[in-house]
Structure 1
Amino acid sequence: MDTIIQKKLVEIEETYKVKILYAVESGSRAWGFPSKDSDYDVRFIFIHPTDWYLAIDPQGIGAKRDVIEEPINELLDISGWEITKALRLFRKNNPPLLEWLRSTIIYYQKGSFVENMRALESDVYLPNSMLNHYLNMAKKNYREYLQGSQVRIKKYFYVLRPILACLWIEKYNTTPPISFQELVEEMIPAGELKSAVEHLLKRKLIGDELDLESRISVINDFLETEIQRLEAYAKSIRVEAKDSTQLLDELFRDTLQEMWQ
């Protein structure tokens, strides 16, 4: 599959006349709990030639889109963000983008852009923004999938992971790791809950079909308690955002020159 993805990235560069700066796996494969039928969720950041930016019409007008989205098939979901869109989202501390920067499955990386971007993360870090993102994700998935006596049991991962990410932010005041296993190891103490989560993870990784089953009380109780507690904690956080615009403008200009000089 890696060869297919590499070929597709080259095709995108040629078709759209752009340069891809960074391409990674996201989603369940990057998180560490893919199903046997999981597709590949490839995400990338790209940059246009200089003339594309030196024009009277900005991106978003006419054909000047700031995303590239390829048709999705049963194996591959691939899409990318234009560099200035990515940097604006980085300025807002966008959690999915920060997860891309932590993916251990890297398909392509060109130039110094990503390393320079990572070096600026402390200048954009907003714990309240990140915590609210993960908490809202957990609450939505919990409401939709984990109510009643019978639940879609594989959906536990899509509530557990954001809750554990919130706990990481609360404890360390840093961006949480992308690995679900690392979050479990660090944030859940030994005991019944950890054993239940690790057992569920083993089942998923060996390909067990995890569809409707009886709810796992010890996990549900943990999630309900932490959702309520974290809602109160999120309201107590007060952070003054830094204005990183100048730094990110410089990164954009430096990257433009590096890629197209």
Structure 2
Amino acid sequence: MIKSWLKEMEAEYRIEILFASETGSRAWGGATVHSDYDVRFIYKHHDVRSYLSLRKAQETMDFPAPYDAQGWDIYKAFHLLQKSNPGLCEWAFSPILYHDCQNFSSKLRRFVTESYSLISLFHHYIHLMDRNLKDIRGKAFTEKRQKQFIQAVRAFLLAKAIILEQKVPVMALYSSFSSSFPKDCTIVSFYQQLMEAKQSGELVSYADIEDAIFMMEQERPLLLELSYGLSKGKSIENELNQWIWELLHL
């Protein structure tokens, strides 16, 4: 269904979709029967003149239905790739690919792993954790806030994986984290408990939530201190320019 919808979008908007993946809970194992499809894609315009016109080529496409879908033009995607955009990293390594034109994903993944700023990626996940915890703290614990808490714990574990592995946390991005941390890691066990509760429509106890928040906030200062030694990434402007020219057949 999604593949045929992507073909319809190509015809309607006169674009070529180069890459499309799933990035929501369906990709990282937390989906229920009510979960949306979160489709993300990268495209180029068929008419090369659209990139050489006074009116800028459409850089983004958003569709609330029938799927939660968002697309980025190659220029926008590559600018964000050069800036170590965390969202693009998650698009690239999704285990669910809907479309992969001429192995586009392999090149995208290589550029992410070779050039991304680990310190920027780390701070993204730490701040994502902070924002979600702020929304939860002191409020009634509902199904919606449990989803936010899952995001907070996932962000914490990804930030910690970056510190431990000193690289883009490819294996941890779409996993239960059991392979990235010791078997007795309390936060990993609690994350897995949260995922099971979400899938069964149950809520974990708020006492357990408070314990987990305490543990994460206790460890946060140490992670921040260790983050100062992380790589700042490297420029790949020339390589990306070459890739764009190849894609546009220039």
| TM-score bracket for this pair, using the shorter chain length | 0.7 to 0.9
Under a length normalisation based on structure 2, what TM-score does the superposition of the two structures give? 0.87
Pairs within 5 Å for 1:174-189: 174-177=167-170, 178-181=173-176, 183-187=177-181, 189=183
Residue 195 of structure 2, aligned match among 190, 197, 201: 201
Residue 16 of structure 1, aligned match among 13, 22, 34: 13
Structure 1 Cα separation of the partners of residues 81 and 68 of structure 2: 22
Under a length normalisation based on structure 1, what TM-score does the superposition of the two structures give? 0.84
Kindly indicate whether residue 235 of structure 2 is the aligned counterpart of residue 223 of structure 1: no
Kindly indicate whether residue 49 of structure 2 is the aligned counterpart of residue 52 of structure 1: yes
Counterpart residue number, 1:67: 60
Structure 2 Cα separation of the partners of residues 150 and 229 of structure 1: 30
Query: What is the DSSP-based 3-state SS (H/G/I as helix, E as strand, rest coil) of the residue aligned with 2:43?
Result: strand
For the 8 Å contact 2:60–2:70, the answer to whether it is kept is yes
Query: What is the DSSP-based 3-state SS (H/G/I as helix, E as strand, rest coil) of the residue aligned with 2:248?
Result: helix
Structure 2 Cα separation of the partners of residues 185 and 133 of structure 1: 22
Structure 1 Cα separation of the partners of residues 54 and 104 of structure 2: 25
Residue 97 of structure 1, aligned match among 64, 88, 96: 88
Structure 2 Cα separation of the partners of residues 249 and 191 of structure 1: 43
Q: 1:95 to 1:83 in 2, by over 3 A?
A: same
Kindly indicate whether residue 142 of structure 2 is the aligned counterpart of residue 148 of structure 1: no
Structure 2: give runs of 5+ residues left out of the alignment: none
Q: Which amino acid letter does the alignment assign opposite residue 253 of structure 1?
A: W
Pairs within 5 Å for 1:74-89: 76-89=67-80
Residue 233 of structure 1, aligned match among 226, 229, 243: 226
Structure 2 Cα separation of the partners of residues 44 and 126 of structure 1: 22
Structure 2 Cα separation of the partners of residues 19 and 226 of structure 1: 45
Kindly indicate whether residue 26 of structure 2 is the aligned counterpart of residue 29 of structure 1: yes
Counterpart residue number, 2:203: 210
Counterpart residue number, 2:244: 252
Deviation string, structure 1 residues 83-128 (Cα, Å, up to 9, x no partner): 1110111111111101111111111111243322223234422111
Deviation string, structure 1 residues 29-61 (Cα, Å, up to 9, x no partner): 1121123321110000001125235524263xx
Kindly indicate whether residue 154 of structure 2 is the aligned counterpart of residue 161 of structure 1: yes
Counterpart residue number, 2:4: 7
Q: 1:233 to 1:54 in 2, by over 3 A?
A: same
Query: What is the DSSP-based 3-state SS (H/G/I as helix, E as strand, rest coil) of the residue aligned with 2:18?
Result: strand
Deviation string, structure 1 residues 120-173 (Cα, Å, up to 9, x no partner): 23442211111111111111001112x137533333211111111111110111
Q: 1:222 to 1:188 in 2, by over 3 A?
A: farther
Counterpart residue number, 2:107: 116
Structure 1 Cα separation of the partners of residues 168 and 151 of structure 2: 18
Query: What is the DSSP-based 3-state SS (H/G/I as helix, E as strand, rest coil) of the residue aligned with 1:187?
Result: coil
Q: 1:79 to 1:179 in 2, by over 3 A?
A: same
Query: What is the DSSP-based 3-state SS (H/G/I as helix, E as strand, rest coil) of the residue aligned with 2:72?
Result: strand
Structure 2 Cα separation of the partners of residues 96 and 188 of structure 1: 27
Structure 2 Cα separation of the partners of residues 15 and 188 of structure 1: 50
Q: Which amino acid letter does the alignment assign opposite residue 179 of structure 1?
A: Y
Structure 1 Cα separation of the partners of residues 240 and 55 of structure 2: 18
Residue 136 of structure 1, aligned match among 127, 138, 141: 127
Shift of 1:191: 5.6
Shift of 1:231: 3.2
Structure 1 Cα separation of the partners of residues 77 and 106 of structure 2: 14
Q: Choose 153-162 or 76-85, whichever is displaced more.
A: 153-162
Q: Which amino acid letter does the alignment assign opposite residue 148 of structure 1?
A: G
Deviation string, structure 1 residues 211-249 (Cα, Å, up to 9, x no partner): 8x5241331222212333333333x24645422111000
Number of aligned residue pairs: give it.
Answer: 244
